Structure 1
Amino acid sequence: MIWASGNKSTLSSLLKLANRIASEKIRSPNITAFNSNQIIVRILGAIASGILLILIHPTPDQGWLAWVCLVPILLACHRSSIGFSSLLGLITGLIYAYGVFFWFFHLPKAGAVQSIPLAIIIALYVAVFAAFASRINNNFLRLLVLPCIWITVEWLRAHAGFLSLPWATLAHSQHQNIGLLQYGAFTGTYGISFIIVAGNVLLANMIIMRKVSIEQWLGISTILLLHLYGHSLIGEPELTKTQKIMLVQPHISVHEVRGEQTNQLRWQKLDRLTRKAIETGIDLVVWPETVLRGLKSNPLLMRNIQTLCNDYQISLLSGVTEFEKFTTDGGSKGEGEVKTRSFNSIVFVVPDKPSPVFYNKLILVPFGEYTPLSDYLSWPQWLAPVASELTRGDAYVHFAMPEGTIIGPLICWENLFPDFVRQSVMDGAQVLVQVVNNNWFGQSAQPFQHNIASVMRAVENRRSVVVASNSGPSQVVDPWGRVTAVTPEYFSKATLISEVQINDIPSFYSRHGDLFLWFVMGFSALALLLSLLSRQTSHTQKNGRN
């Protein structure tokens, strides 16, 4: 009852603010005519959207607010100048960045100064969207083009080189909206974001027009029908098999990460947890990211792991930090220096076969696992403290279970990138296994936000995704984005055993990628071009009559 009362209060406040912005807009169609009160109202609209963009993600994970989160900023930008609208977008983006990414401050050496570039970069994307929103005043064109602009901006966030961060997108807010999620199998997450933005534009247009037209009713009905039809897409394909997988969540603290003694203690903890919880019929045991170190140079530990696999006839997949010595080029002197490369890796061990297979992480975390552009720039320490200089792997590797199931391994934030995961599936992965260690971020919203990306990858590719986390939550996601099993406790030791569905039928998105995105990007560009030509023709005809 208290929460329901809070929801009514929130909606009432948003409606009052929307009406205030709309009324100010009607009286003052040009930003140059705004007085201080009208400017403040529009700034409040930008602040409201920033707050709503925080609320739709964990925590508090109120995804239903995504359907109104952009309405205040859309109203505030309507018929405003492009400069003022960009400023409003920056305000919204900064609030969103600091609210959603507040876990950033849990990192060692991460403070207010280091957070500023991250917040500004994220805010700039929202500012670009706001700038376009201010220049498109035709309601029908807004409905067609603004969703395209938003998902184009989301695509840029995922393809910005070392600045890429496709985290906490609009689509992620709908991870519990199972019906809507199903469109990800055809359009990727961009299609889901497109529908959400279209819903927001419809509501904003209604407030601007102060009436509901037949076209707007049709738009709302279409979104409702999409939800209903999405539920009909949830089914049971002709799955070839299931596998029983056990996830071990050891909760190894950040202080237990180095040294041979702690390496042995961690092995003992993992071995004890595994042997205590294991049961008949388990096919695969998964240990999380970087829980062990230097297996290639530790034959005794490698034999212990092989013995565990042989004893229970299980395959084992574990995160490990690996090392490799190499000799530098000595130049004219001919005397090279011996150095060591470090890798964030996964080791895969099968019973009765002492030939472990390793996968070295391909997408490293900038400023965390490597320093970008280090050959060309010397980053100031106050901005970018020294990172762990890991080496990127050479190639992607699949793991084959004894009975033939193909595993696509993912390490940490590799699950954020749709193109990367899609390629793994197209190369044969029947199930995706992600190992992660998020306890660097403390008991924050970060692990929950991170796990949502795995839900999206499951739906997009119609593949089960298994997430083994050091401190939780560890979980299993089925091919329709439903979390079928999750560890009951967070930041504690736990094990999780679940039957996992294995699928070898690729989805439309797996086969064709971002076809929807390219189509709508081309369509929006054409619509904008035709609109500009129409304005130019109208302006020329008007001058001719004069």
Structure 2
Amino acid sequence: MFQRILYAILTSLLLWVAWPPNNITPLLFIAFIPILLLERNLSLSGEGGTGKKIFLYSWLAFGLWNIFTTWWLINAHWSGLLMTTLVNGALMALVITIFHFIKRKLGNQRGYIALPFLWICLEILHKNWDLSFPWLNLGNGFTENVEWIQWYEYTGAFGGTFWIWLVNLLLFSALTAFQKSKNWSSLALRLVLTIIPAVLVPIQLSHLRYSNYEEQGEEANIVVVQPSIDTYTEKNIMSNEEQAVKFLRLGNFEMDSTVDFLVGPEDLLTEGTYIDKLEETSPLKLYKAVVGQYPNLNIVSGATLLQHYSTTPTSPTAREYNNTEAWYDVYNSAIMINRYDSIPYYHKSKLVPGVEMMPFSSVLKPVLGNLISSMGGTSNGLGYQKSREVFTSADGQFKVAPLICWESDFGEYVTEYIRKGANLLFIITNDDWWDESPGYIQHLHYARLRAIENRRSIARSANTGVSCFINQRGDIIQPQPYKKPVAIKGVIKANTELTYYSKAGDVLGRVSLFISGFMLLFAFVKGYLKKVNSLAQR
């Protein structure tokens, strides 16, 4: 039992140490070997309840990994860490348990073939269901080594997940073969012919692409502002006008007639403003005054917008105002202001479970409504829009994807903007919820994957940091210190070409769903037929 617990803890520690920002990335290639050894030992033990034991030991391993890697969620609310530990840890353990079931029914070879695809299915789930949490998707683990993963422009981050599992399984196979034969020459041959090439060939190809890639597109002059307004104190007492003044004052230090965009963070205008009265507010009048000085300027920032309904709405997120039969929706939005009268806006659509949307609301709202309210959210959830919105600059030259907060963590979701013509990515976020912790660093680095997948330059405005630019190779440019009020000016290129990933999306994900479904169905059918034959022979 002690050895099994040790295996579980070792996997969790290896994954944690390998994960950003620790940046001992090569450990990802061996991190799953202990849990594979654990599963193998339990399978060979002949003990009863093997599947249950595999699940529990795996839950220990992955629950600990979630705690070690995302402990900072407790800075926003303790329930966030609890949910990732219990739910995400259990789902990861379930993947290992399903793999064990397939291996037992279909044989070792088919089981190990199925495992990487099963894990990718979990990552697909985390991009699409009500408890979405793609934070620990394995392909994110290479974000501090973008020279290794330039081929994400073809595979997306799922390619990294598959790569990690492939190398782990090759090493595990070599190790178990050596345990049986004690043949050093056979082990060396495996290393030279399969394992070393499996690691080095993708890295070498990626380095070549990284070295030879030339950024594409017209140059855009961007000023990014990091206002550093404390989320827990200042935002509660500062008016929209005061926040807008601070934003514009910082931006003014870098402004001139060549600037195409002035970018501010998520939720910069905290007080809710009705959409039909947006132009009448003092912050927007301040924005318009600045645009009057620079006719080609476009100002993009976050805002809390409200939508009033004159009749009972069909929107599932609408709420009633103090039992007055007046209804409204609340949105976490991005707005753009330029010389034209109309103000385009986009409502955040990938909402954070718990704080911004009630997962499985019909079931959980009666149970967790009060808890959600105590976290600063609402059991009604925020409103959202079903389609992506692209902002077009005043001169028509640039088309911007306004990604709000963790929308930048969803690879295929971002491609929807690209296919709508976006040639620049703006990420506006407020990472102050987690304080000075690995959380804001991880979030910064995950954005680099979107730049590589789509070969799109990024301007990133984070309320308290890290604000920066990211080029089309995924390099971070001019990163700013955390909690420093600052504005930076940079030139990034607006690429219009589509990568394979931008056009096709997560092909590897769809292949994984097919293979996993087929393997699982095959295992059930074979198990059922075996049981029927056994009964017939009695």
TM-score grouping bracket, smaller chain normalisation? 0.7 to 0.9
Q: Structure 2: where are the runs of 5+ without partners?
A: 43-49, 314-322
Q: Report the CA distance shift for 1:69/1:252 in structure 2 as closer, same or farther (over 3 A).
A: same
Q: Deviations over 1:345-396 (max 9, x none)?
A: 111112x323321112222222212333445531246754442442223543
Query: By how many angstroms is 1:61 displaced?
Result: 3.3
* Residue pairs, 1:328-367, within 5 angstroms: 328-329=311-312, 337-350=325-338, 352-367=339-354
Q: Which residue of 1 aligns with 2:36?
A: 74
Give me the whole-angstrom Cα distance separating, in 2, the residues matched to 1:61 and 1:381: 39
Give me the whole-angstrom Cα distance separating, in 1, the residues matched to 2:59 and 2:305: 42
Q: Which residue of 1 aligns with 2:492?
A: 500
Give me the whole-angstrom Cα distance separating, in 2, the residues matched to 1:149 and 1:518: 11
Is this contact kept in 2: 1:179–1:230, CA < 8 A?
A: yes
The code of the aligned residue for 2:330 comes to: S
The reply on whether 1:154 has 2:98 as its aligned counterpart is no
Q: Report the CA distance shift for 1:536/1:217 in structure 2 as closer, same or farther (over 3 A).
A: farther
The structure whose RCO (Cα within 8 Å, separation 6+) is larger is 2
Q: Which residue of 2 aligns with 1:13?
A: none
Is this contact kept in 2: 1:183–1:192, CA < 8 A?
A: no
Give me the whole-angstrom Cα distance separating, in 2, the residues matched to 1:524 and 1:315: 47
The code of the aligned residue for 1:451 comes to: L
The code of the aligned residue for 1:125 comes to: L
Q: Report the CA distance shift for 1:382/1:57 in structure 2 as closer, same or farther (over 3 A).
A: farther
SS at match of 2:359: coil
Query: By how many angstroms is 1:452 displaced?
Result: 2.6
Is this contact kept in 1: 2:213–2:473, CA < 8 A?
A: no
Give me the whole-angstrom Cα distance separating, in 2, the residues matched to 1:263 and 1:238: 38
SS at match of 2:367: coil
SS at match of 1:473: coil
Q: Name the TM-score, length of structure 1 as normaliser.
A: 0.83
The reply on whether 1:296 has 2:278 as its aligned counterpart is yes
Of residues 216, 234, 243 in structure 2, which corresponds to 1:256?
A: 234
Residue correspondences, number: 497
* Residue pairs, 1:38-437, within 5 angstroms: 39-80=1-42, 81-107=50-76, 110-111=77-78, 115-135=81-101, 136=103, 140-141=109-110, 144-160=113-129, 162-210=130-178, 212=187, 214=189, 217-220=192-195, 221-234=197-210, 235-236=212-213, 239-254=216-231, 255-258=233-236, 262-279=239-256, 281-292=258-269, 293=271, 294=273, 296=278, 298-313=280-295, 314-329=297-312, 337-350=325-338, 352-375=339-362, 377-380=365-368, 384-386=372-374, 387-388=377-378, 389-393=381-385, 395-401=387-393, 402-437=395-430
Give me the whole-angstrom Cα distance separating, in 1, the residues matched to 2:372 and 2:239: 29
The code of the aligned residue for 2:219 comes to: T
Is this contact kept in 2: 1:241–1:501, CA < 8 A?
A: yes
SS at match of 1:72: helix
Q: Which residue of 1 aligns with 2:316?
A: none
Query: By how many angstroms is 1:263 displaced?
Result: 2.1
The code of the aligned residue for 2:342 comes to: S
Give me the whole-angstrom Cα distance separating, in 1, the residues matched to 2:307 and 2:531: 68
Q: Name the TM-score, length of structure 2 as normaliser.
A: 0.84
Give me the whole-angstrom Cα distance separating, in 1, the residues matched to 2:346 and 2:521: 47
Is this contact kept in 1: 2:99–2:114, CA < 8 A?
A: no
Is this contact kept in 1: 2:144–2:445, CA < 8 A?
A: no
The code of the aligned residue for 1:248 comes to: V
Of residues 431, 443, 456 in structure 2, which corresponds to 1:438?
A: 431
Q: Report the CA distance shift for 1:356/1:536 in structure 2 as closer, same or farther (over 3 A).
A: closer
Q: Which residue of 2 aligns with 1:9?
A: none
Q: Which residue of 2 aligns with 1:8?
A: none
The code of the aligned residue for 2:356 comes to: E
Query: By how many angstroms is 1:77 displaced?
Result: 1.2
Give me the whole-angstrom Cα distance separating, in 1, the residues matched to 2:369 and 2:139: 35
Q: Report the CA distance shift for 1:87/1:274 in structure 2 as closer, same or farther (over 3 A).
A: same
SS at match of 2:268: strand
Give me the whole-angstrom Cα distance separating, in 1, the residues matched to 2:512 and 2:306: 46
Cα RMSD of the aligned pairs, angstroms, is 3.1
